[in-house]
Chains A and B, each alone.
Chain A
Amino acid sequence: MQWETVIGLEIHAQLATKSKIFSGASTAYGAEPNSQACSIDLAMPGVLPVLNREAVRMAITFGVAINAEIGRRSVFARKNYFYPDLPKGYQISQFELPIVGRGEVEILLEDAEPKRIGVTRAHLEEDAGKSLHEDFHGMTGIDLNRAGTPLLEIVSEPDMRSAREAVAYARKIHQIVQYLGICDGNMQEGSFRCDANVSVRPPGGPLGTRAELKNLNSFRFLERAINIEVERQIDLIEGGGKVVQETRLYDADRDETRAMRSKEEANDYRYFPDPDLLPVEVEEGLIEAVREAMPELPDARRERFQREFGLGAYDASVLTANRGLADFFEQTAQVAGDAKLAANWVMGELSGALNKAGLELAESPVTADRLGEMLLRIVDKTLSGKIAKQVFEAMWLGEGSADEIIEARGLKQITDSSAIEAVVDEVLAANPEQVANYRAADDKKKPKMLGFFVGQVMKQSKGKANPQQVNQLLLKKL
């Protein structure tokens, strides 16, 4: 039997504000436990929340970026449940009137038409603290540093039909929030978290019962967890069973999902408007100001890279995958004056070196300006592509700028025809047998045989002879 997968995602993006959403405590990651929790975060008796204006601006920025309706009047609500790392016994969230309403984003799959994914809503809420179950000898430690950190919860429509679509959508949201500078996107530190609602149904049929998957802290896990959950549900139904609505945890070590809590055990959150906070009234002027300050978004930038630099769709989308990479590429291309060359080097040599060293782009020992300067030497024929790789390696090791390395190592390409001609003559004279064979061979075999002579000339010139000129001279003389 055929089954259709239906997926909706809930993404929690931690907003990059300096202080918490309802208190003045710092949001910096990695501090000593409970050193960044003030009396408000600790829910001391009598304390009150005050909304962080910057969090509101960031949420609106996201809303404008996905063409969503901005809630002119949005309301904070209390979500009530008991947990030791939830100090107030309720989480301040938004329920009936979120700050961001209906919007959409477009995803691109390889070899596929673009697809629009609906965003149902995005709302502001506070994060809880952390319960630490290890190292406390049977007790639980509570760290409230994270309590009150602002989150934007972005809820999608159930528009995705495969794990790959879900990943493409999650990557798209990840890309947008990073471009907007409202979230650092760090999945390891939990700044960007995905939960997936997954169900299966006969194609086009009514929606099946869904399971909510949690603990998906990388795109790879997201894809994997959805795929094995879909298999589990299909096996279950085909075996005569029924999917129950429940929350399931993905265990990457065992590569399985397991039930965490079922709907019967689920909390009744008793949402109601928080009487400590007034409704947020968003003025048109603020939305306009956000619109004007909006940075170029990934889709627009991709299109511009194709149009302005003549890049292919694939290259353009790789280079705009995140804002840092796109900025790096654009700067390199500007300095080098050759965008295609810059694209090849950024995606090739540079990305390879970063991967090998396990570094982030921001940590690259070769800056965009340095790389651009080196590429300029390829453009002006000072360097051949092959020698340039040596120069790049030297720059990576911190030996200075391209020009300094070329100078120090004497790597300047030989483009003087008479100098190259002398070497060519020398090589031909030293290999009379190969010359005779070449001349006697048929045209089909000749290009392959020419390689021998090219190799000899390059060897003699220590790789510095301009390869095009070597080719031309050899052809002429042979």
Chain B
Amino acid sequence: MRSQSISALAQSLRAGEFSSVELTREYLDRIAALNPQLNSYITVCEESALQEAELADRRIRGGDAGLLAGIPIAHKDIFCSEGVRTSCGSRMLDNFIAPYDAHVVSRFREAGAVMLGKTNMDEFAMGSSNETSYYGAVRNPWHPERVAGGSSGGSAAAVAAGLCVAATGTDTGGSIRQPAAFCGITGLKPTYGRVSRFGMIAFASSLDQGGPMTRSAEDAALMLEVMAGFDERDSTSAEQPVADYRAALEQDLKGLRIGVPKEYMDAALDEEIAASVQLALDEYVRLGAELVEISLPNTHLAVPTYYVVAPAECSSNLSRFDGVRYGYRCREPKDLEDLYKRSRGEGFGQEVKRRIMIGTYALSAGYYDAYYLKAQKLRHRISDDFRAAFEKVDLIMGPTAPSTAFGLGEKADDPVNMYLCDIYTIAANLAGLPGMSIPVRPVDGMPVGLQLIGNYFDEGRLLNAAHRLQQESNWHLATPVTSE
């Protein structure tokens, strides 16, 4: 069952070949067997998942089932889910039971999906290795001593290891695409504003975007169809109609112009990763596409710009975690200041505190112009690079990450080196563009991701290109040993 696509599973459920309860139980059993090692889930919702599965079975029999009726999925623990702990990977919210559903969660409920649980993540989505989680690191299903990537590492590992059919993730600087690349799955970060952020715990509001993490582009198209769309509760959500992503999957790629940024494929890139990316690009040429060398001259500014904008926003977004109304509160505070200092000092981990400090500094009187305002200007320049590029090409492709999954603990004490993991993914967040990562030829047995960046709201074309490659290759079908 696990190798089947969502639509094939949905068809089997409708045909009565097996029930959603049976399917859900199989996944719950796999979680029980494998999660202690992988640590991809923070919370498993066994009881409610089986209830949801039962309900889905009734609805399927009644013929009024939604698009994802009975399909067991997992949500990144950044999405609020009513009555279920929503920790955001932090001690701060270890005791927080969300009183409401995030927009994305309610969309999946309406579509009939079964929620298996909440997946592990870097604390408040700040990290590229999943090692900043209060609940411990996620292990890469392809290699137990390697990281799964981050911040959506739990979702990536769970999908790769078959601990759910598909999962949701969020991407602020690469947090869907980089773990997707490290775990050998398909991940899509939609255009900023395509998926409502309501109920998604904010890290950096102008960059955060939720998206699907799946085994194939076809599954991603179906998931995105459920997630995407205008939500009046999120002022930054786009009123643009949602395209029929599944219908666009099969389109011919003849004449597709693929831009390859010379700044991504330069000498600094690992040779073997470059070779895997090139192999995929050659396959596109074979499918009728044309490769165009392009330049994104401000690429080198993306990481420094991001590390001003994102911490600045996070320093303000995380102010609400003050020990007053919910979440972690220190024991026996002496006074108000002590309550604030210790609740936040004890409730947040090192990386979160580091970014709050950086952001607070960047926004301080006297530094605002030099940091925040300058970063905003650079952000415009980075967007302009893409605008110019998309006048010449339809899609941009390159590597998702500069390396394959690195060893646990390898970069934990070197934040700058860790930040450079997102060197290719951050620009799409700064520009608000949709980006995707799909598996290509592995290096030394570890997955490698090809990144695809599209124009605004052109998710359909991204999914189409990804799907066509996946029809012509089987890199995405490879499964790690743990899942056998």
Contacts and interface: CB of A to CB of B under 8 A. Distances in A.
Contacts of B315: 80, 270
A410 interface: no
B316 A272 contact: yes
A46 B199 contact: yes
Given A48-B235, A272-B363, A39 B99 contact: yes
A87 B320 CA distance: 6
Interface in B216-244: 232-236
Interface stretch (A274-282, A365-373, A445-453, A461-469): A274-282
A46 B102 contact: yes
B322 interface: yes
B326 to A, nearest CB: 7
Contact of A45 (B93, B232, B312): B93
A272 B322 contact: no
Given A39-B100, A46-B199, A80-B316, A87 B325 contact: yes
A311 B143 CA distance: 93
A270 B364 contact: yes
Contacts of B312: 272
Of B98, B233, B235, B360, which is in contact with the most chain A CB atoms at under 10 Å from its CB?
A: B235
B200 A278 contact: no
Contact of B205 (A43, A271, A276): A276
Nearest to B87: A45
B340 interface: yes
Interface in B41-77: none
B365 A268 contact: yes
A45 B99 CA distance: 10
Contacts, number: 97
Interface residues of B, number: 44
Nearest to B196: A48
Nearest to A45: B201
A82 interface: yes
Contact of B363 (A45, A46, A47, A80): A80
Interface in A342-390: none
A84 interface: yes
Given A275-B205, A275-B313, A276-B235, A46 B200 contact: yes
Nearest to B193: A278
Contact of B320 (A89, A142, A271, A277): A89
A84 B98 contact: no
B364 A268 contact: yes
A44 B363 contact: no
B324 A48 contact: no
Interface in B328-349: 336, 340
B182 interface: no
Nearest to A22: B235
Nearest to A82: B340
Contacts of A39: 99-100
Interface in B1-27: none
Q: SS class of chain A's interface: helix, strand, loop or mixed?
A: loop
B86 A45 contact: yes
Nearest to B324: A84
A309 interface: no
B363 to A, nearest CB: 4
Contacts of A80: 315-316, 319, 363
A48 B197 contact: yes
Nearest to A49: B235
Contacts of A45: 80, 86, 88, 93, 96, 98, 201, 320-321, 326
Contacts of B100: 39, 44
B368 interface: yes
A277 to B, nearest CB: 5
Contacts of A49: 235
Contacts of A51: 235
Contacts of A28: none
Contacts of B201: 45-46
Interface string A253-292: 0000000000000001011100111100000000000000
A88 B320 contact: yes
B407 to A, nearest CB: 32
B326 A44 contact: yes
A412 interface: no
B202 interface: yes
Contacts of B98: 44-46
A51 to B, nearest CB: 7
B206 interface: yes
Of A48, A88, A268, which is in contact with the most chain B CB atoms at under 10 Å from its CB?
A: A48
A268 B325 CA distance: 24
A50 B232 contact: yes
B394 to A, nearest CB: 29
Contacts of A174: none
Of A39, A49, A51, A276, which is in contact with the most chain B CB atoms at under 10 Å from its CB?
A: A276
Interface in A223-240: none
Contacts of A47: 198-199
A276 B316 CA distance: 12
Interface in A76-93: 78, 80, 82, 84, 87-90
A275 B321 CA distance: 18
Of A44, A46, A84, which is in contact with the most chain B CB atoms at under 10 Å from its CB?
A: A46
B372 interface: yes
A275 B201 CA distance: 14
Contacts of B102: 46
8 contacts: A45-B98, A46-B102, A48-B234, A51-B235, A82-B322, A87-B320, A87-B324, A90-B316
Given A45-B98, A84-B322, A270-B365, 15 more contacts: A39-B99, A43-B325, A44-B98, A45-B96, A46-B98, A46-B200, A46-B202, A48-B233, A50-B235, A87-B324, A89-B316, A89-B320, A270-B360, A271-B363, A272-B312
Q: Which 3 residue pairs across A and B have the least CB separation, nearest first?
A: A89-B319, A270-B363, A275-B206
